[in-house]
Chain A
Amino acid sequence: MSYGEREAMTGLITSLIVVALFLWHLSGQHGDGVFDGPEALQVWARMVLLLVAWSIGIAIVVSIGFHILYGMLTGEKPDDRRDERDRDIERRALTWAWYLLSFGLLGVIIDLAMGATAFRAMNLVLALCAGSEIFNDGVKLWLYRRGA
């Protein structure tokens, strides 16, 4: 497994863990009525900042854990080189993810125009960001697996 492939794998695992944790935290807060007041957006924004902090910490832990586990299971010294094929795969995955994000944002704007609340729109934007990140890593892994 190349460096780029391992990076895509750890990125995907990190994103899934962060999204799961965030949804769990969000549903708990929602149940407590935290988002019912006039300061709902501020509370939400603080939660997103917390999410960013979690992401950094979880990314470090997953990356180190995966590196150690990979070495133990395969017995090979990881190749940390990044070459032109890695950059090509990264560019292709990023292009696809960018399309997803762009059309998704257009959908959110249409939703807003049809009367959706700002709170709902912000949640959709956040979900789109997380979704496009997961999609980006998923496409990268798919391209690596098919040997592109």
Chain B
Amino acid sequence: MAIENRIRRLRFDAGEMTQKDLADRVGVTRQTILAIENGKYAPTLDLAFRIARAFGVPLDQVFTFQGD
């Protein structure tokens, strides 16, 4: 997948926030957070912004595009 993310790192920096905590904050299931973290699922723009807001950082600090 061309989109990489730093969610695991950001969770760690946010006091070892669990996947469940993040999922509850952004309104999705824990399995969806797991799939995004593992690069198996690309979130919609809406969810991507909600994840970034949950960490209090800009979007490009959570997701980066690695394609051409």
Contacts and interface: CB of A to CB of B under 8 A. Distances in A.
Interface of A: 1-3, 5, 79, 81, 83-86, 88, 144, 146-148
A65 to B, nearest CB: 22
Given A84-B44, A147-B38, A148-B41, A79 B29 contact: yes
Q: Which 8 residue pairs spanning A and B have beta carbons closest together?
A: A83-B28, A147-B40, A85-B32, A2-B29, A2-B31, A147-B35, A83-B32, A81-B29
Contacts of B27: 81, 83
B11 interface: no
B37 to A, nearest CB: 10
A113 B38 CA distance: 50
A79 B30 contact: yes
Interface of B: 27-32, 34-35, 38, 40-41, 43-44, 46-47
B41 A85 contact: yes
B31 A81 contact: no
A147 B28 contact: no
A146 to B, nearest CB: 7
B43 to A, nearest CB: 7
B25 to A, nearest CB: 13
Pick from A1, A85, A148 the residue with the most CB of B within 10 Å. A85
B50 to A, nearest CB: 11
